[in-house]
């Protein structure tokens, strides 16, 4: 029951992060743009650090073989690559309003699916070890902050009313709780520990393929230094938590 309480509580808190999108309404656009990319770089470091310093070692410690662990990591990476290819919710090749509106729905579908899978994975870590669950949740939450800011901005830009955009953003975030409850329910019937290295692959894909390319193509040396520092800070946070847990 303790694991269930952590799963439900962390899932609701993760869903509440969707409300942070409303900050785009009060933060000046120029300041928001200055904050967004360092946040993305920090999220990338947290996700990659969380995967390599917590999730993969946690899977190895709890009895899964090296080969099986890294096969599941690879599977997690490939599945998220395939999902992104299928949904294409990051991209819009036309700037017309007719393009923006469908894109906003794709964002909600993609975000809902992403959160459902995240809920499956994070819940599995709480079932293995509460401390591992907390660190995995922190890494996932670091990614959600810039993502929710960006998603909300795209919905509003695509013509959605601000209140409606916020509501649907929160509803798509609640699929995280659904995924967590599915994992908890299935754990009584099957071994869900494979979700831990699978989620590590998800985190590696998001960090390396989606987030790092956003922050590593600037010609300004000072900007690049800030992004690198934010990335290292994310990794360092995960390393400090790992060190503190031993």
What pLDDT score was predicted for residue 97?
Answer: 42
28 part of a folded domain: no
Please return the burial class of 83, using the count of CB atoms within 10 Å of its CB with bins 0-12, 13-18 and 19+.
middle
What pLDDT score was predicted for residue 190?
Answer: 85
Residues of the chain with confidence (pLDDT) below 50 = 89-100
143 part of a folded domain: yes
82 part of a folded domain: yes
Backbone angles phi, psi at 62, to 5 degrees: -95, 30
87 part of a folded domain: yes
What pLDDT score was predicted for residue 157?
Answer: 66
228 part of a folded domain: yes
What pLDDT score was predicted for residue 129?
Answer: 87
Domain carrying residue 147:
2-6+41-244
pTM score, whole prediction? 0.74
Terminal C-alpha separation, the chain? 25
pLDDT in tens, 80-99: 888 777 766 444 443 444 44
Backbone angles phi, psi at 96, to 5 degrees: -75, 160
184 part of a folded domain: yes
- List the one residue out of 49, 45, 181 whose CA is nearest residue 124: 181
226 part of a folded domain: yes
Number of domains in the chain: 1
What pLDDT score was predicted for residue 244?
Answer: 67
15 part of a folded domain: no
Please return the burial class of 70, using the count of CB atoms within 10 Å of its CB with bins 0-12, 13-18 and 19+.
middle
- List the one residue out of 48, 20, 178 whose CA is nearest residue 114: 178
CA–CA separation, 6 vs 216, rounded Å? Answer: 36
């Amino acid at each position: 029951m303790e694991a269930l309480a952590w799963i439900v509580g962390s899932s609701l808190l993760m869903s509440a992060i969707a409300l942070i999108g409303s900050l785009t309404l009060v933060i000046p656009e120029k300041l928001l743009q200055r904050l967004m990319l360092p946040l993305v770089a920090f999220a990338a470091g947290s996700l990659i650090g969380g995967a390599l310093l917590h999730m993969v070692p946690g899977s190895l410690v709890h009895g899964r073989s090296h080969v099986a662990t890294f096969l599941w990591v690879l599977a997690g990476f490939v599945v998220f690559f395939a999902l992104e290819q299928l949904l294409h919710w990051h991209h819009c090749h036309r700037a017309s309003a007719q393009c923006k509106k469908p894109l906003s729905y794709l964002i909600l579908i993609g975000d809902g699916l992403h959160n459902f899978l995240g809920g499956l994975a994070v819940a599995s870590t709480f079932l293995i070890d509460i401390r591992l669950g907390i660190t995995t949740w922190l890494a996932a939450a670091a990614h959600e902050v810039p993502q929710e800011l960006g998603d909300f901005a795209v919905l509003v830009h695509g013509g959605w009313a601000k209140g409606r955009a916020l509501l649907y953003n929160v509803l798509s975030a609640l699929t995280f709780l659904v995924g967590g409850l599915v994992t908890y329910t299935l754990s009584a019937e099957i071994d869900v520990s494979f979700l831990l290295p699978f989620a590590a692959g998800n985190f590696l894909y998001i960090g390396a393929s989606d987030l790092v390319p956003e922050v590593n193509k600037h010609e300004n040396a000072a900007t690049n230094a800030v992004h690198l520092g934010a990335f290292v800070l994310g990794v360092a946070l995960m390393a400090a938590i790992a060190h503190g847990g031993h």
